[in-house]
Amino acid sequence: MALGGGWISLGIGLALTLARVLGRCGLIVGTGLLLDRSRSRWTLAQASLNVVPAGIYARVLADGAASWNRAVGGLPLMAVMTVVD
């Protein structure tokens, strides 16, 4: 029982860490886009960061998880955001 709880806690911790890292990266890239004159590298960084959530959505779709409907909406949204970036 404790082992299962440990795995769940580890999984939640990793998910929260990933969310924090992506959030911080978003702040850095957003600041770079607003303040730097050479925006092409910041735009490339933003588009590259969009790959991570898109990959997560694609994984959910492939696995057929319970949150499949959210992934169906999220994956096209990430694709559009990447094209716009």
Would you list the domain boundaries of the chain?
A: 2-84
Q: What does the pLDDT read at residue 71? A: 64
Q: pTM to 2 decimals?
A: 0.56
Could you tell me which residue, 30 or 11, shows the higher pLDDT?
30
Burial class for 80, CB neighbours closer than 10 Å (0-12, 13-18, 19+): exposed
Per residue in 39-50, pLDDT (tens digit) is 888 888 888 888
Yes or no: say if 46 and 33 are a contact pair by the CB < 8 Å rule: yes
Quote the longest CA-to-CA distance of the chain: 55
Q: What does the pLDDT read at residue 43? A: 85
| Residue 68 CB contacts under 8 Å (≥ 6 apart), including other chains | 60, 61
Q: What does the pLDDT read at residue 70? A: 65
- Quick one: tokens of 77? 């949204």
Yes or no: say if 24 and 52 are a contact pair by the CB < 8 Å rule: no
Burial class for 43, CB neighbours closer than 10 Å (0-12, 13-18, 19+): middle
Could you tell me which residue, 82 or 26, shows the higher pLDDT?
26
Per residue in 66-83, pLDDT (tens digit) is 666 666 666 676 677 667
Q: What does the pLDDT read at residue 46? A: 83
In the block, residue with structure tokens 């779709």: 61
